[in-house]
Amino acid sequence: MHTVLVTGANRGIGLEFVRQYAEEGWRVHACARDPKAAKELAAIKGDVTMHRLEVADDRQIAHLVKELKGDAIDILVNNAGVGGSDGSTDPDDWLRVFHINSIAPVRVAEALLPNLEMGSAKIVLSLTSRMGSIADNGSGGSYAYRSSKAALNAAMKSLAIDWKRRGVIVVVAHPGWVKTDMGGPSAQISPQRSVAGLRQKLSALKPADSGSFFNYDGSTLPW
């Protein structure tokens, strides 16, 4: 049986990852800040185990590691993230966004490396954004969010290089402009379409793809 772990699994894209993988018979570890309040997540049928995880809390990461000791993980989906205040340069807000969007995904991946090495697929997917692309920035603004995703991209690129010898594939992907709480009602695609596209790409990944940045439809994006 294949196993996937999803952070930020209580809503939106994370919830849809859990739903689709569970429907296909995968074992799913679904992480959320408050599992007791995650009613939609709890309603998903299948082999789904919920875990409490605030990704910016090292103590909760350590507790998750203890819960998963000896369990193989094929795919880690670093989905948890925040948007930040558009246009704000408040340093406290900026650091909060960086901690959650840039630092936490690396910390979670590092903590779960032993589990990933036991898996068969050995994939780390971190959801980023086209807004983190320096080459694709034509509208400005969103200083904290853009820079946090650019930093995430850089960190995951380095992780891909460092973990190549371990056989772990590390990629970042833009899920599209998705109709979620963050994306809003004017967004272009549904969570179902986004996740289906991302899963299709994940299923076809090869070691040579490690360190890549792609769109939910599989196309390559500029850094």
Given a cut of 70, whether residue 100 has pLDDT beyond it is yes
- Residues 127-139: what's their mean pLDDT? 95
Q: Over the stretch 138-197, which tens digit does the pLDDT of each residue have?
A: 999 999 999 999 999 999 999 999 999 999 999 999 999 887 766 667 777 899 999 999
The single-letter code of the amino acid at 160 is: A
First-last CA distance in the chain: 35
Q: What percent of the chain has pLDDT over 70?
A: 97
Neighbours of 177 (CB within 10 A): 17
Residues in CB range of 78: below 8 A, 6 or more apart = 7, 104, 105, 108, 109, 124, 125, 126, 127
What's the confidence (pLDDT) of residue 182? 66
Q: Over the stretch 34-59, which tens digit does the pLDDT of each residue have?
A: 999 999 999 999 999 999 999 999 99
73: tokens are 């993980």
Cβ pair 148, 101 in contact under 8 A = yes
25: left (phi over 0), alpha (psi -120 to 50) or beta: left
The single-letter code of the amino acid at 84 is: G
Q: Is the dihedral of CA 97, 98, 102, 104 positive or negative?
A: negative
Q: What percent of the chain has pLDDT over 90?
A: 90
- Which band of pLDDT confidence, cut at 50, 70 and 90, is reported for residue 210? very high
Catalytic one among 21, 143, 145, 216? 143
Q: Is 21 a catalytic residue?
A: no
Domain ranges of the chain: 3-214
Q: Over the stretch 53-84, which tens digit does the pLDDT of each residue have?
A: 999 999 999 999 999 999 999 999 999 999 98
Given a cut of 90, whether residue 205 has pLDDT beyond it is yes
What's the confidence (pLDDT) of residue 84? 80
Host H or E run for residue 157: helix 143-162
Residues in CB range of 82: below 8 A, 6 or more apart = 96, 97, 100, 101
Given a cut of 80, whether residue 121 has pLDDT beyond it is yes
Give me the chain's average pLDDT, please: 96
The CATH superfamily holding the domain 3-214 is NAD(P)-binding Rossmann-like Domain (3.40.50.720)
Cβ pair 124, 144 in contact under 8 A = no
